[in-house]
Structure 1
Amino acid sequence: MSRQWTDEEKAKLVVLVGQGLKWWDIGFQLGRTGDAVQMMAGSMKLGPKPFKGKRSAVWRLMVRICADGRPRTVHELVALTGASRVCIDRLMKEGHADGEAHTAGWLKSRRGPPKPLWLPVPGTDAPKPYVPTASERQCARMRRMKEEDPLRYKAIIDRCTLRRKLKRGVVAQQHPVVQALFGMGVAA
């Protein structure tokens, strides 16, 4: 039969959970099983035991791998450690929040945002590079085209202007021969 929790045991439980000890270790100190301690912590709304990145074997392995000072992406660390991407990502973000990791640089990619290059040591973060939006990239492409190939640029602008006028219905009907040769206007 289980014994009741005293107020002293509950107060000690709060302190021990705050230290981030394992459930079985807290249970040993309180003379209870790890499951009983975990259930009482849940009923007291203490939440899950806080995760400490420094105690993780994966974190220690990442620190050893990055001892050469070369920053690595999360995917490189996954390949080197054998841990999951989610685990590595979580460890690095928690280490970053605790001041134990930083982004040493950014890896630009052809698609999507740049990827952080992590180092699991304290340091200052490299600034994230600016990524232009799709409309900014299109404007830059059209500006380059205007300088490099003005005839192609004019043909694109004329085609867009004609399409806008066709949508609004303001283009005059063209002769069938002009329509067949140049594809302009609406059919007569």
Structure 2
Amino acid sequence: MRMAKHWTEEEMDLLRTLHDRGDLSLREIGARLGRSAHAIQDKAQKMGLGPKAFTGNRSAVWSYVVKLCADRRPRSVHELAQLTGASRTRIDKMMRDRRAAGQAHHAGWQRHTSGWPAPLWLPFPGKDVPRPAPISNAARQRDRMRRMKEEDPLRYKAIIERTVIRRRMRDGIVTPQHEVVRAMFGMGKAV
């Protein structure tokens, strides 16, 4: 069994300096100190240096995303995952990390039928477009009725008429109906 090599004060100072620089990977820091990347990560964590900040552009997926977005057309996480073959979770985390580092931004928002809008990303520095509020239930219902009025006017008219009758019944204003209609549907009062 191999004995762990003890850390000297000089090695810990050098680790702190190299870690804070941010341009070297854990493997490169380990090579300079004669230790493994795992040992560097453990010691950095014990020293409270936090996780190694990734500042390079070494990720193959990131390089591919940059090439895909060279046309400056913003894309959603789902679209980027489909084009690159990477998972949506990986793309989402990568874009959020790059946004925090100032290397990506929200170029727009994609609205859905329910819930909050999803961000459209560009892998370049820029100013974020503010996130719009979600669509309210009332606005969603108005939109649904507007579409129904255009696409199926007979169904729309039937819904409006049924609503008017129910409102009148609730308010006690029931329109007189023919006896046959009353007998068949049980609506209205006698003529």
Q: TM-score, normalised by structure 1?
A: 0.69
Secondary structure of the 2:109 match is strand
Matches within 5 A, 1:33-48: 33-48=36-51
Shift of the 129–45 alpha-carbon distance from structure 1 to 2, 3 Å rule, reads closer
Q: What is the one-letter code of the residue matched to 1:5? A: W
Matched, 1:64 2:67: yes
How many correspondences in the alignment?
A: 173
2:21 alignment partner AA: Q
User: What's the counterpart of residue 50 of structure 1?
Assistant: 53
Alignment of 1:49-128 (within 5 A): 49-52=52-55, 54-128=57-131
Which residue does the alignment assign to 2:17? 15
Deviation (angstroms), 1:25:
1.3
Counterparts in 2 of 1:156 and 1:144: CA distance versus 1, 3 Å: farther
Aligned partners of 2:110 and 2:117 also within 8 Å: yes
Instruction: State the AA in 2 paired with 1:18.
Output: D
Change (3 A) 1:31 1:152: closer
Q: What is the CA-CA distance between 1:16 and the residue it aligns to?
A: 1.6
8 Å CA contact 1:53–1:94 kept in 2: the answer is: no
Q: Distance in 2 between matches of 1:23 and 1:106?
A: 36
In structure 2, stretches of 5+ residues that fail to align are 171-181
How many angstroms apart in 2 are the aligned matches of 1:151 and 1:38? 68
Q: Is the 8 A contact 2:114 2:134 kept in 1?
A: no
Structure 1, unaligned runs of 5 or more = 164-178
Distance in 1 separating the partners of 2:75 and 2:144 = 32
- Distance change (3 Å), C-alpha of 1:123 and 1:47: closer
Q: Which amino acid letter does the alignment assign opposite residue 77 of structure 2?
A: V
Residue 134 of structure 1 corresponds to which residue in structure 2? 137
- In 2, Cα distance between equivalents of 1:95 and 1:10: 29
- List per-residue Cα deviations over 1:40-73 (Å, max 9, x = no partner): 2232232332233633222122111111222211
Per-residue CA deviation, residues 4-59 of structure 1 (Å, 9 max, x unaligned), is 21112111111222233222211111122323222222322323322336332221
Taking every aligned residue pair, what percent have the same amino acid on both sides? 49
AA aligned to 1:81 is T
What is the TM-score with the length of structure 2 in the denominator?
0.69
AA aligned opposite 1:91: M
Residue by residue over 1:58-111, the C-alpha shift from the partner in whole angstroms, topping out at 9 and shown as x without a partner, is 212211111122221111111221211111111211222222212222223334
Matched, 1:156 2:163: yes
Distance 1:142 1:126, change over 3 A: same
